Structure 1
Amino acid sequence: MKLLIIISGLLAFVSSKPCDTDGSNHELLMSLNKNLLRSLDGQEGLPNPSIHLALRLSNYHSLVKEADYLNKLKNELHNDIQNSLTSSQPVTGILALYSLALKSSCYDLNTITFTVGDKSEMLLTQLKTQMEQEKEHIAFSHRPLTNYYQYSLGVLALCVSSIRVNHHVIHKLIKAADDSHFRHGETESIDTYAMAGMALQCVKDSGFYVHNPAELDTALSKIKQKLLASRRADGHMGNEFSTGLAVQALLAMGSDVADCSASMEAMRTAARSNVYHNPMAISQTLPALQKKSYLTVKSKQCLNEDNSLVLEPTEPPVVVPSDTKVNVMVEVVTSSGATALYSVDVPKGSSLLEALDVLKTKSVGFTFELESSLWGPFLSTVNGEQARQSDRRYWHLSSDGTALTEGVNDFKIEAAQKITIKNTSY
């Protein structure tokens, strides 16, 4: 299982006034909420705990649909995690998200168990075991078994459930933040800084890290600096799809209006332009726009919840293929540096996945295979060569030299361009 799955003085992150939104954006928030709810019906693959978490953190609910989705998580996702544990695959990130989703519904986590070998353990006990394995892997290889994003999720999930986290586990995350180890390929991972910020803020609030509180404050200050320094001229932090988590982290760390108002507006602008059409993207953006963060789960009580969210009937969109064809050059760069170049004409507006499917049917020697993730399908094998997470490799996608921020099913071909698919290490 994969999971796509990623600041000046010591007290700068503790401010008196939180990030804010104004009432004029109510309709936008309702639209995003309804789009996320609609995504449950047409969803392919396993249920997504991030979607459930966002729905539960929202101010408005459809409690019956949320309860139905919770049952899907407890059955389909639970069984998939169990299968991964049975085959000794690391599941830190998805297990952490699963526990956060359950807790957001005020579900008793002590009733959820997994069996490894002949031993049955509660979910949070299994998560602690996963975190110990991650910590040991850092000790001898200087990196987690999975990655620091999943590692941060694990710390956060344990912390919001009031489970005392091993101070050695926390120290590894603090040191990684101090040493700027939150990277994906050649770039810093703003998603990871954000998730680490929420995790360490939870640890600080809980008083779990008495070992060296000063170094915890220093790490939080550095994380905040990294997030603010990543802000672009248009207000987004990192890119359009990392801004939601970045704002969540700033909210969790108590940032004032000046720290995130521009980023809030950037997300609203992107939402109005339908940039967040991927349910996973909405699930990370909606909590931030409602002034919530994943830390909110810790105090959630599930009492007197609004149950007024009703989905109006909608006609399925009619997609008319464009008569305009655009040329796409596809360059494949293997791990050895060998390159192959292909050309294909596709209707304007096609997804990159559709373009690759057309190219594959042309029998020119181009082949690919997909794997699923919470963000949708991603390339796992191209022309017979794998780029596996277990080998810390992935297929990096770029258009005319600019890295894509969307996956193969979300990126649209609107003009002639050169797509480069490169086997890359991280």
Structure 2
Amino acid sequence: MLSLVIIAILLTLASGKPCDTEGSNSELYLSLNKNLLRSLETQEGLPNPSVHLALRLSNYHNLAKESEHLNRLKNNLHNDIQSSLSNSQPIAGLLALYTLALKSSCYDLNTITFTGSEKNETLLTHLKKQMEDEKQHIAFSHRPLTNYYQYSLGVLALCASGIRVNNHVSNKLIKAVELEHFKHGDTESIDTHAMAGMALQCVKDAGSHVQNAAELDTALSTIKQKLLAARRADGHIGNEFSTGLAVQALLAMGSQVAECAASMEAMRTDARSNTYHNPMGISQILPALQQKSYLAVKSKECLNEDDTLVLEPIDPVVVLPSESTVTVMVEVVASSGTAVVYSVDAPKESSLLEALELLKGKNVGFTFEKESSLWGPFLSAVNGEQARQSDRRYWHLSSDGTSLTQGVKDFKIEVAQKITIKNTSY
């Protein structure tokens, strides 16, 4: 009997070990942190508030570089948001991430203003208005202006900033959980469930949602069950790029660290093999690996922070073009269902974006346009046909029938394959 007890104790210790942040794991997290910092110097386009948020929630800091990035957010990203607001574009998610990024630096949110309807109003006022517009759209169209991921981000940002979230706003999120509206096409959106879990947990912790306390608890329980049910044999929840937010949500909703051990180990394994080379991907796994979630922003005080993180100079890596090529078949399926197939020989290890550029340059009738996002460029129009968020459509990418989990710039062409680009509704 005693031997069974000893074995049980050893198994418990073994299962908890992958969550240990000391030793080699600490070295890995430090490396991820440095990669995020380096991305600030090489980033294209607008500064990324998600990256800033992860840097600020980390255990390690380079306060000077973080301060520089904060200034870029307050200038470059601020101006872009102002332009979107002036054009009456729905940007609840970006406003929310901007709010969380500023809050993570303990910045006074009341000093951040935007001009709208010919008057100056604070960031939080604009975010509340965006959420009201989203809520009204759900009431009439049974879906947000943007999507439930952005809607959840909005609820989380308001709550984490100490703003009481309107019961009607949070009720719409609770109802969406109940009606299973967190789907992208036919598949469950793990990212949306995770963000909704953190948002509703924040509302619960604030104690302001007393009217429907039972429904709130049921929604949180449902989300947790969905996340756990989506855990694969290798530990990932959903896929490699949704696991970070899923673990954050589970921790926020009260899961013990040991409950997430397999998922944390899966992220560490992938991090060591450089799966998370996209800064956006790193920004979502780093808080989770350090056993934190975006809810930590609410109580962040920015006092006595470590400031020892130094970036060592690194030799630039010269990537020589591959001499070998692989044949890529590119199938474009329009919204009408008609399909056309092209062929292009692309250098091995080139990105899908580079392959599409080569195909476009062949002048065989294939054209495309792209737009930027926090994850990198995405296809907005192919062969003259658009797939717009306003029409609830997007270009779905797959390789030999398997959906891609990476964007056009991150996905590498390693072997001959058939890429399908399909105009899809959601």
TM-score, length basis structure 1: 0.95
The alpha carbon displacement at 1:259 in A equals 2.2
Quote the Cα distance in structure 1 between the aligned partners of 2:107 and 2:21: 32
Partner of 1:158: 158
Partner of 2:103: 103
1:228-243 equivalences under 5 Å are 228-243=228-243
The alpha carbon displacement at 1:119 in A equals 1.5
Q: Secondary structure at the match of 2:40?
A: coil
**Contact 1:331–1:339 (Cα < 8 Å) also in 2:** yes
1:263-278 equivalences under 5 Å are 263-278=263-278
Quote the Cα distance in structure 1 between the aligned partners of 2:304 and 2:348: 49
Residues 128-165 of structure 1, C-alpha deviations (whole Å, 9 max, x = no match): 10000000000000000100000000000000111001
**Contact 2:331–2:342 (Cα < 8 Å) also in 1:** yes
Q: Does 1:193 align with 2:184?
A: no
Partner of 1:414: 414
The alpha carbon displacement at 1:170 in A equals 0.5
**Contact 1:21–1:264 (Cα < 8 Å) also in 2:** no
The alpha carbon displacement at 1:318 in A equals 1.1
2:324 corresponds to which letter in structure 1?
A: T
Quote the Cα distance in structure 2 between the aligned partners of 1:314 and 1:257: 35
Quote the Cα distance in structure 2 between the aligned partners of 1:257 and 1:131: 33
Quote the Cα distance in structure 2 between the aligned partners of 1:51 and 1:316: 23
The alpha carbon displacement at 1:207 in A equals 0.4
Could you list the structure 1 runs, at least 4 aligned residues long, displaced by more than 2 angstroms after superposition.
19-22
Q: Does 1:47 align with 2:47?
A: yes
**Contact 1:326–1:346 (Cα < 8 Å) also in 2:** yes
**Contact 2:21–2:290 (Cα < 8 Å) also in 1:** no
**Contact 1:327–1:417 (Cα < 8 Å) also in 2:** yes
1:308-319 equivalences under 5 Å are 308-319=308-319
**Contact 2:183–2:189 (Cα < 8 Å) also in 1:** yes
- Answer 1 or 2: which has greater helix percent: 2
Partner of 1:344: 344
1:262 corresponds to which letter in structure 2?
A: A
Q: Secondary structure at the match of 1:39?
A: helix
* Structure 1 segments unaligned to the other structure (5+ residues): 1-16
The alpha carbon displacement at 1:257 in A equals 3.4
Partner of 2:290: 290
The alpha carbon displacement at 1:120 in A equals 1.2
The alpha carbon displacement at 1:230 in A equals 0.4
Quote the Cα distance in structure 2 between the aligned partners of 1:109 and 1:257: 32
Quote the Cα distance in structure 2 between the aligned partners of 1:316 and 1:342: 36
Partner of 1:253: 253
Residues 63-107 of structure 1, C-alpha deviations (whole Å, 9 max, x = no match): 000000000000000010000000000010000000000000000
Partner of 1:306: 306
The alpha carbon displacement at 1:22 in A equals 3.5
1:66-85 equivalences under 5 Å are 66-85=66-85
**Contact 2:198–2:249 (Cα < 8 Å) also in 1:** yes
The alpha carbon displacement at 1:354 in A equals 0.5
Quote the Cα distance in structure 2 between the aligned partners of 1:243 and 1:154: 21
The alpha carbon displacement at 1:281 in A equals 0.2
**Contact 1:21–1:289 (Cα < 8 Å) also in 2:** no
1:120 corresponds to which letter in structure 2?
A: N
* Structure 2 segments unaligned to the other structure (5+ residues): 1-15
Partner of 1:3: none
Quote the Cα distance in structure 1 between the aligned partners of 2:346 and 2:372: 24
**Contact 2:376–2:409 (Cα < 8 Å) also in 1:** yes
**Contact 1:106–1:301 (Cα < 8 Å) also in 2:** yes
The alpha carbon displacement at 1:347 in A equals 1.0
The alpha carbon displacement at 1:167 in A equals 0.2
1:380 corresponds to which letter in structure 2?
A: S
Quote the Cα distance in structure 2 between the aligned partners of 1:291 and 1:249: 11
**Contact 2:63–2:307 (Cα < 8 Å) also in 1:** yes
Partner of 1:9: none
Q: Does 1:61 align with 2:61?
A: yes
Residues 286-331 of structure 1, C-alpha deviations (whole Å, 9 max, x = no match): 0000111000000100000000000000111110122211110000
Quote the Cα distance in structure 1 between the aligned partners of 2:75 and 2:314: 29
The alpha carbon displacement at 1:212 in A equals 1.2
Quote the Cα distance in structure 1 between the aligned partners of 2:43 and 2:173: 34
Quote the Cα distance in structure 2 between the aligned partners of 1:211 and 1:124: 24
Q: Which moved more, 1:279-288 or 1:255-264?
A: 255-264
**Contact 1:251–1:292 (Cα < 8 Å) also in 2:** yes
Larger Rg: 1 or 2? 2
Partner of 1:381: 381
1:164-243 equivalences under 5 Å are 164-243=164-243
Identity across the alignment (%): 77
The alpha carbon displacement at 1:121 in A equals 0.9
Provide the aligned length of Structure 1 versus Structure 2.
Answer: 409
- Larger RCO: 1 or 2 (CA < 8 Å, sep 6+): 1
Residues 343-365 of structure 1, C-alpha deviations (whole Å, 9 max, x = no match): 01111101000000000111100
Quote the Cα distance in structure 2 between the aligned partners of 1:113 and 1:97: 15
2:301 corresponds to which letter in structure 1?
A: Q
Quote the Cα distance in structure 2 between the aligned partners of 1:96 and 1:115: 17
**Contact 1:160–1:295 (Cα < 8 Å) also in 2:** yes
TM-score, length basis structure 2: 0.95
1:21 corresponds to which letter in structure 2?
A: D
Q: Secondary structure at the match of 1:40?
A: helix
